[in-house]
Structure 1
Amino acid sequence: MAKSTTNSPCRRNPDKVDDLAQDVWIAVWQALPRLNDVATLKSYIARIAQNICVTHVRRALVRRTQPLADTVGLAVL
């Protein structure tokens, strides 16, 4: 596996990596009945993992940007 040079939040939080890995395997388990060709299992798992990780990053970015608007509104009160 290639080593990432980015400063990912998951690199600072090994527990988050474990949580994401568990989410991937749960999603794979739930998706297995829809898998038609066992030969594509490797790419199927990779796609599920990629989608879960992208969703995690997007949600983290949204969480990071939303409090600014909330705190500005609270400061006026």
Structure 2
Amino acid sequence: MAQPVASHAGKRWLWLLVLPWIGVLLVPIYNIDQPRLFGLPFFYWYQLLWVLISAVLTAVVYWKTKPAKRTSGGQS
């Protein structure tokens, strides 16, 4: 079961997850054809780039907010 973020400082990391929303929801910024990358219009490779950025940001937020492992107090 998921554990809640323990500290207020840990909750700040969650704001990184807003960046992909902003980058993808502002369609007029990337609704263009040029520049092309490997023959793909900017519209498509910009969105694909955000998929990769989102994965990296999600991993960073996970690592920074996951609770520390508990040691089992000498029990085996």
Establish whether TM, by shorter chain, passes 0.5: no
Greater RCO between the two (CA within 8 Å, min separation 6)? Answer: 2
Q: Give the TM-score normalised by structure 1.
A: 0.39
TM-score (ref. length: structure 2): 0.40
Larger Cα-atom Rg: 2
